Amino acid sequence: MIKSNVIKRKAIRVFFAILPYWQVQKQLMRNIEILEPICRGRKIKMQHLHLTLLFLGDVPTNQIHALRQIAKTISADKFEFKLDTIGYWRHNHIIYIQARNFPTELFSLADSLKIALSKDGFVFDNRAYKPHITLFRKAFQFVNTDLIKPIQWYVDQWFLIQSKPTNNGVEYIPLGHWNLN
């Protein structure tokens, strides 16, 4: 029998995201309640509503400090946008909400993160950034409608979040946050 010298390092699942303030969460939940009978999917819990900036996946715990240090170097401006469009991705049965027009500051923040993390050797999915907030998973019915009343979202901070599995589902744990200029 060959003994392996590889040491398994503990890893946690993490992502960078923007979390909505309470007022925005409540407005999103109102839309979820209106759409639920139509799409019959698994609705996202209020505390899980977020706009992902960059998903990293499993990262060794000894690299979390490095992620925080890199995040400190990112400089980006505050911004706001209107969530005004509901969409559906048929391939993975997700209903989401997005803005017709996201501000350039959002894309600058996401790009700055990608560049800084790449320089430090972090690996992540480098697909084109498609900002959205997932409202339902495993949706049965296509929904593609404009909102009657757009949701205004002012953004002045962003977060590093751990997605931790528990006996009661997934828990999101903020591991750090940074203010925008």
Q: What angle do CA 92, 15, 6 make, to 5 degrees?
A: 100
Under 8 Å between Cβ of 147 and 162 = no
- Token pair, residue 50, equals 């977020």
DSSP state, 141? S
Q: What is the largest CA-CA distance in the chain?
A: 66
- Determine how many CB atoms are found less than 10 A away from the CB of residue 78: 13
pLDDT for residue 117 is more than 80: yes
pLDDT mean across residues, the chain: 91
Per-residue model confidence as pLDDT tens digits over 56-72: 999 999 999 999 999 99
Q: In terms of DSSP bridges, do strands 51-60 and 11-18 run parallel, antiparallel, or are they unpaired?
A: antiparallel
Domain range 12-179, its CATH number among 3.40.50.150, 3.40.50.300, 3.30.70.100, 3.90.1140.10: 3.90.1140.10
Catalytic-role residue among 91, 93, 132, 177: 132
**For 127, what's the count of Cα atoms within 13 Å in the CB-facing half-sphere?**
7
Judge whether 50 counts as a catalytic residue: yes
pLDDT at site 4: 43
Q: Burial of 83 by CB count in 10 Å (0-12 exposed, 13-18 middle, 19+ buried)?
A: buried
Strand partners, 51: 18
Return the minimum-mean-pLDDT range out of 69-73, 85-89, 97-101. Answer: 85-89
pLDDT for residue 122 is more than 90: yes
pLDDT at site 161: 98
Catalytic-role residue among 50, 91, 93, 177: 50
Per-residue model confidence as pLDDT tens digits over 31-60: 999 888 888 889 999 999 999 999 999 999
The rounded distance, in Å, linking the Cα atoms of 18 and 51 is 5
Domain limits, the chain: 12-179
Per-residue model confidence as pLDDT tens digits over 131-164: 999 999 999 877 667 666 899 999 999 999 999 9
Judge whether 48 counts as a catalytic residue: no
DSSP state, 133? E
